[in-house]
Structure 1
Amino acid sequence: MNIKYATAEDITAVAEVEAECFPPAEAATEEEFIERIRYYGNHFWLMYEAEKLIAFVDGFVTDEEDLTDEMYEKAEMHNEKGAWQMIFGVNTLPAYRRNGYAGELIRRAIHDAKQQGRKGLVLTCKEKLVSYYAKFGFLDEGVSEKSTHGNAEWHQMRLAFDNRKLTK
């Protein structure tokens, strides 16, 4: 498997994977990915098997401590010098799930954020995935008051680098 950062050439494939992984109310559109990749393509971790995109993790960097719905919509809010790496999506095509690919991408995002001197990472997830992200060191901060993206209930989770040992 090959992991790389996103470029304009990846936009269609990224949008297709997203559409397979999230319901329409929660999935980003191709137009949104055009902006996201333009502003922070180096914060997309893409996993390819040969020429096929099978999984990706993406999100921007900010000094804001909490993930908000506005962040999904406004790629220009990205601040390359920000303290926190936000994770907007963890996507794996259904046929490739349960092989550890998402975990590999999450560990890579954690590693990169640590190497870049960030305070840590923040993501939101549905309750059924809280225990999954906890395996990587994320702590559940409860139901988010700042994100109701797609009219869903999201738990905000944070991995702060203070006193944590990360494995690669």
Structure 2
Amino acid sequence: MKITPVKMTDLPQLMAIEKAGFSAAEAGSEAVYRDRIERLPETFLVAREAAVVLGFIVGPAVPARFIEDEMFTKTPTNLDHGGHQLVFTLAVSPLARHQKIGSQLLTALEQVARKAQRKSVSLTCLERLIPFYESNGYQNQGVAASSHAGETWYNLEKTLE
């Protein structure tokens, strides 16, 4: 398995993984993912085995410490350096789960963030996923302000400084 930057040709596989991992209300659309591929090439990483996408991680590097709901509809532009690395999505194909691919993608994005001198990596997740992120060194910062998909989300953060 290799972790590489995303390519536009990955889009059909990304959408299949997105739809398998998230409810219709939670999932990003093809247009949103096309925009993310174009706007976030440095912070959109794909785990692949040859031409098969096993999973992916994507999010912008911005001044804000935590995700704000409007960022899901209007993709922010990455800062050149500094700020905070956010994770909009971490998703692994159902066929490749339980192989630590999600953890490897988190580590790879953290390395990108460290090189760019980000202060932290943060994300929002559902309560059932908190133990996974805590096992990867993230700390629960409490309930997020997000009302995305009508769910209760939690802010998880890993300080890089």
**Structure-1-length-normalised TM-score:** 0.90
Distance 1:59 1:84 in 2: 10
- Quote the Cα distance in structure 1 between the aligned partners of 2:144 and 2:39: 25
Counterpart in the other structure of 1:36: 36
Asked if 1:47 is matched to 2:44, the reply is no
Which residues of structure 2 form unaligned runs of 5+? none
| Per-residue deviation, 1:70 | 0.7
Q: Which residue of 1 aligns with 2:122?
A: 122
Q: 2:150 corresponds to which letter in structure 1?
A: N
Deviation at 1:79, TM superposition (A): 3.0
User: Is residue 4–residue 47 contact of structure 2 (8 Å, CA) maintained in 1?
Assistant: yes
Equivalent position SS for 2:65: coil
Q: Deviations over 1:49-99 (max 9, x none)?
A: 221111011111110122111111111x22323511100111011121111
What's the secondary structure of 1:142's corresponding residue?
A: strand
Residue equivalent to 2:148: 149
Is 1:102 the counterpart of 2:96? The answer is no
What is the RMSD computed on CA atoms of the aligned residues?
A: 1.2
* Residue identity matched to 2:60: F
- Taking the aligned partners of 2:87 and 2:139, their CA distance within structure 1 comes to 14
Q: Distance in 2 between matches of 1:112 and 1:135?
A: 20
Q: Distance in 2 between matches of 1:66 and 1:102?
A: 20
CA distance in 2 between counterparts of 1:123 and 1:66 reads 7
Unaligned runs of 5+ in 1: 163-168
- Judge conservation of contact 1:143–1:155 (CA < 8 Å) in 2: yes
**After the TM superposition, which parts of structure 1 deviate over 4 Å for at least 4 consecutive aligned residues?**
none
Task: Give the whole-Å Cα distance in 1 for the aligned partners of 2:144 and 2:84.
Answer: 17
Q: Distance in 1 between matches of 2:7 and 2:96?
A: 23
Aligned ranges 1:19-34 → 2 under 5 Å: 19-34=19-34
Q: Deviations over 1:12-31 (max 9, x none)?
A: 22122111111110011111
Is the contact between residue 87 and residue 121 of structure 2 (CA under 8 Å) also seen in structure 1? yes
1:68 alignment counterpart:
68
Identity of aligned pairs, percent?
26
Partner of 2:13 in structure 1?
13
Matched, 1:84 2:80: no
**Which residue does 1:158 correspond to in 2?**
157
Measured in 2, the distance between the counterparts of 1:66 and 1:25 equals 21
Task: Tell me the equivalent position of 1:165.
Answer: none
SS in 2 for 1:98: coil
